[in-house]
């Protein structure tokens, strides 16, 4: 059983007590950490949790001992140091990646460095020494820590970094940097929150933490954190005139500990503040150890809970399952201000050594006019060039500069207020953006050539592929783009729904070799694991279930899945029954398949060539009253039509189709683990694909990406490392076999990168 220390920054009950002026005892904290751990599994007796707590907190009876003994001892399990560089132990890396979704990796690094006794006193020269030797090395641009995997490092060096071919521009900034942004510029950041704090998604995030905070509460928390930080500095350095030459106050835009090693800069870039925050933590921990100041330890606890509160709003942890939970984070705009600085994000994803990236494909949401779009493209170009200059300056002998291209991704949206056809407003919006991209590409400028493909992102529950198909196909026909990619099969009601979404994208968008599907979780997730999560009975819209069965009927015939031919008659009976319930007519399966395949056309432009049955179907399909029946929930037994083995056959049929058409899968390990139907990496689709291929099942080429590295606390090196550590330490595969697999993935990324296209 994991230590309850893991949840020390998630204790929102104690945060709320501090916020309202109540005293928090260490016994309160221990009780609340037990309750946090219990949330993960309510099927275990409290007696077991209490024994676990006794083990975790043996000899720990105060905030001082918690910070100076309990956490350092806990962190030594995960981290080690080689000269001055901190690494995660390979065999604990998977656990570490889960740990940092709950608490700040920057503070965990501070606890580890403190345990090494790198600081003996607060002398100016010694502080300068540890800052240049340890702190810059480990927090120059990012607080993320990686393992030191020799075979992976060698491969990494040979290939000049990795390809990250699925990353969203506005989900990059890590939580520690965003927290620093709030401390240095609270008003701009709070303005962004003010626009979202009354939305259902923001309220849900707060209520999940048991909080009901207003904008004033956010302001109060930030001011309190700034005051605590100032208190730390004054308490430790009050007698030193050297450090008090400039006035410090809770309205200061910079961390006062900066004055120990440098001069304030305006604006203070958030990822540069990481280093001063790390320095502050180390100094405060040393002070607690020397002076045994319990009040100061309680202040540190309060400060960390405030930072932890923001961390939970910014990072998806293991208790926040599914796409909706992820989307709540993307919609809260807490990253909005920090995200304006592209250079900081580029430095972060390149890592503290600036060598993580060979080529990156950045996803951005296009505007509806060239005038709005061009300034964004220019800023990205300028900041990327600055990144390349910094890379060259840091290591003049390094003869490589990272490259980037852009992918315009359209956003799926819920259907609202449609009158004549479904998704009217979205279709209008897509038309504007399509025309903007056409005009932009026709300009033939260097900036427009950087946009090499199109994509559709966000929740699959919001918009089906058929809505995007006419716009994507026209952009392809006008030769604006050689390739496209599309988020599909990531989140779904039923495995059939996820497989159908992938199939519809391939067929409706007329995908060709080299095109890609993002996620494709439905094609590889372990069915038994999925069933254990969703249960045997599920709810889904009745019309969608009808479409799922129509899709399955078609797939079995077109892919000649002989083992499932005996199901076709039973399928046909269910399809006709559902057709009558949705459309008031039992359309035959052939007509339903034909009409389903016609949905990729713009509804107003469909030609029926005198076929009254098809015209009647589409009139009903687009009718508002019928759509209500289509969306009416129906409860089904998941395995009523297909058993587990038969669902696996359908998964493999889609994979075979993709392999035959050379449609590439973009897999995103941490993102898929947090959003997808997984309990652990054991059910992660990548490893199913690996096993199936060894059994002779055709599997399409697979490439790797990070998705939203800030939300998932990762980077491209750590994604490769995660796969490596699972295969070596959990599956007990040899290092050479594991590296062969990773080398293949990287080769696929190079071969199928859209950056290789003629610009």
- Asked whether residue 481 is domain-assigned, the answer is no
Residue 80's pLDDT is what?
98
Q: Which has more confidence, 758 or 175?
A: 175
Of the chain, the end-to-end C-alpha distance in Å amounts to 53
Last-in-domain residue among 314, 331, 348:
331
Q: What is the pLDDT of residue 247?
A: 43
For the ranges 164-168, 242-246, 755-759, the lowest mean pLDDT is seen at 242-246
Query: Is residue 720 included in any domain, yes or no?
Result: no
Please check whether residue 416 lies inside any domain of the structure.
no
Cα–Cα distances in angstroms (integers) from residue 716 to residues 504, 705, 707, in the given order? 29, 7, 10
pLDDT higher than threshold 80 for residue 705: yes
What does the pLDDT look like over 481-523, one tens digit per residue? 999 999 999 999 999 999 999 999 999 999 999 999 999 999 9
Mean pLDDT of 718-725: 97
pLDDT above 70: residue 249: no
Whole-number pLDDT of residue 267: 53
Alpha carbon 152 to its chain centroid, in Å, reads 23
Asked which of 635, 661, 679 is the last residue of a domain, the reply is 635
- The total of structural domains in the chain comes to 2
- Give the pLDDT of residue 239: 55
Q: What is the pLDDT of residues 424-455, one digit of tens each?
A: 999 999 999 999 999 999 998 999 999 999 99
Q: Quick one: pLDDT at residue 758?
A: 43
Q: Is the pLDDT of residue 400 over 60?
A: yes
Query: How is residue 412 annotated by DSSP?
Result: P
> Does residue 236 lie in a domain region?
yes
Q: What is the structure's pLDDT at 272?
A: 78
| Banded model confidence at residue 253, pLDDT cuts 50, 70, 90 | low
User: Residues of the chain with pLDDT > 70: what percent?
Assistant: 96
pLDDT score at 279: 96
Cβ distance 361 to 753 under 8 Å?
yes
The answer to whether residue 542 sits within a structural domain is yes
Q: Mean pLDDT lowest for which of 10-14, 123-127, 303-307?
A: 123-127
pLDDT category, 408, cuts 50, 70, 90?
Answer: very high
Q: How far is CA 657 from CA 63, 234, 699, in A?
A: 59, 66, 9
Buried b (16+ CB within 10 A) or exposed e, 454-483: bbbbbbbbbbbbbbbbbbbbebbeeebbeb
pLDDT in tens, 260-309: 887 765 555 656 789 999 999 999 999 999 999 999 999 999 999 999 99
- Distances in Å between the Cα of 177 and the Cα atoms of 56, 114, 187, 682 are 30, 21, 16, 32
Q: Tabulate helix, strand, coil % of the chain (nearest 5).
A: 60, 10, 30
Other beta carbons within 10 angstroms of residue 581's beta carbon come to 16
On whether residue 180 sits in a domain, the answer given is: yes
- 267: preceding bond cis by omega (within 30 degrees): yes
Q: Is residue 55 part of a domain?
A: yes
Domain region containing 602: 537-635
Summary mean pLDDT of the chain: 92
* Mean pLDDT, rounded, for 702-727: 97
pTM score, two decimals?
0.94
Q: Is residue 464 part of a domain?
A: no
Say if residues 72 and 115 touch (Cβ distance below 8 Å). yes
- Helices vs. strands in the chain: H and E counts, helices first: 34, 12
Domain boundary among 610, 635, 660: 635
pLDDT, average across residues 569-578: 96
Predicted confidence (pLDDT) per residue in 650-682, tens digit: 999 999 999 999 999 999 999 999 988 887 888
């Amino acid at each position: 059983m994991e230590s309850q220390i893991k949840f020390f920054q998630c204790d929102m009950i104690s945060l709320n007590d501090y916020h309202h002026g109540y005293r928090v005892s260490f016994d309160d904290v221990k009780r609340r950490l037990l309750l946090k751990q219990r949330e993960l599994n309510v099927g275990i007796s409290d007696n077991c949790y209490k024994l676990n707590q006794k083990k975790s907190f043996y000899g720990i009876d105060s905030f001082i001992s918690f910070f100076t003994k309990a956490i350092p001892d806990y962190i030594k399990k995960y981290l080690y140091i080689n000269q001055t560089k901190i690494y995660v132990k390979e065999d604990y890396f998977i656990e570490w990646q889960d740990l940092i979704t709950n608490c700040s990796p920057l503070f965990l690094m501070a606890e580890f460095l403190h345990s090494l006794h790198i600081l003996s006193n607060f002398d100016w020269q010694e502080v300068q020494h540890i800052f240049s030797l340890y702190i810059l090395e480990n927090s120059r641009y990012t607080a993320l820590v990686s393992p030191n995997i020799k075979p992976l490092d060698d491969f990494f060096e040979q290939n000049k970094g990795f390809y990250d071919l699925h990353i969203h521009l506005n989900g990059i900034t890590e939580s520690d940097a965003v927290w620093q942004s709030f401390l240095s510029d609270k008003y701009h950041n709070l303005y962004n929150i003010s626009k979202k704090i009354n939305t259902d998604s923001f309220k849900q995030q707060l209520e999940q933490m048991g909080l009901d905070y207003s904008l004033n509460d956010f302001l109060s928390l930030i001011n309190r954190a700034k005051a605590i930080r100032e208190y730390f500095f004054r308490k430790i350095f009050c007698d030193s005139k050297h450090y008090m030459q400039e006035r410090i106050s809770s309205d200061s835009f910079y961390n006062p500990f900066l004055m120990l090693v440098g001069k304030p800069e305006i604006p203070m870039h958030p990822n540069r503040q990481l280093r001063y925050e790390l320095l502050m933590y180390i100094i405060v921990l040393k002070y607690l150890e020397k002076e045994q100041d319990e009040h100061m330890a309680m202040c540190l606890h309060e400060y960390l809970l405030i930072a932890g509160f923001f961390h939970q709003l910014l990072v998806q942890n293991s208790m926040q399952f599914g796409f909706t939970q992820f989307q709540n984070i993307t919609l809260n705009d807490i990253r909005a201000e920090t995200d304006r600085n592209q250079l900081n994000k580029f430095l972060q994803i390149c890592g503290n050594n600036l060598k993580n990236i060979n080529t990156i494909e950045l996803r951005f949401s296009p505007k509806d006019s060239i005038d709005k779009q061009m300034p964004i493209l220019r800023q990205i170009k300028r900041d990327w060039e600055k990144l390349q200059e910094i890379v060259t300056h840091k290591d003049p002998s390094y003869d490589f500069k990272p490259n980037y291209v852009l992918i315009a991704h359209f956003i799926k949206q819920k259907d609202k207020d449609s009158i004549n056809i479904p998704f009217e407003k979205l279709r209008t919006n897509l038309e504007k953006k399509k025309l903007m991209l056409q005009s932009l590409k026709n300009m033939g400028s260097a900036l427009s050539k950087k946009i090499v493909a199109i994509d559709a992102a966000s929740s699959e529950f919001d918009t089906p592929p058929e809505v995007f198909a006419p716009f994507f196909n026209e952009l392809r026909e006008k030769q604006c783009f050689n390739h496209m990619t599309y988020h599909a099969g990531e989140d779904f009601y039923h495995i059939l729904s996820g497989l159908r979404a992938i199939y519809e994208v391939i067929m409706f968008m007329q995908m060709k070799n080299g095109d890609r599907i993002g996620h494709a979780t439905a094609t590889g997730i372990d069915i038994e694991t999925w069933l254990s999560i969703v249960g045997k009975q599920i709810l889904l819209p009745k019309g969608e279930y009808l479409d799922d069965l129509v899709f399955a009927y078609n797939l079995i015939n077109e892919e000649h899945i002989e083992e499932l031919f005996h199901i076709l008659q039973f399928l046909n009976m269910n399809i006709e029954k559902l057709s009558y319930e949705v459309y008031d007519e039992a359309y035959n399966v052939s007509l339903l398949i034909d009409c389903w395949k016609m949905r990729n056309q713009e509804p107003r432009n469909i030609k029926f060539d005198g076929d009254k049955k098809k015209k009647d179907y589409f009139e009903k399909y687009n009718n508002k009253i019928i759509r209500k029946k289509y969306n009416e929930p129906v409860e089904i037994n998941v395995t009523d039509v297909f058993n587990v083995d038969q669902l696996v056959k359908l998964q493999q049929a889609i994979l075979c189709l993709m392999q035959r058409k050379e449609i590439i899968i973009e897999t995103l390990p941490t993102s898929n683990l947090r959003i997808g139907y997984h309990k652990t990496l054991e059910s992660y689709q990548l490893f199913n694909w690996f096993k199936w291929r060894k059994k002779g099942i055709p599997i399409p080429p697979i490439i790797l990406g990070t998705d939203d590295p800030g939300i998932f606390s990762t980077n491209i090196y750590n994604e490769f490392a995660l796969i490596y550590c699972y295969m070596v330490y959990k599956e007990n595969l040899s290092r050479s076999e594991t590296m062969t697999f990773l080398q293949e993935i990287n080769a696929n990324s190079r071969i199928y990168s859209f950056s290789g296209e003629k610009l």
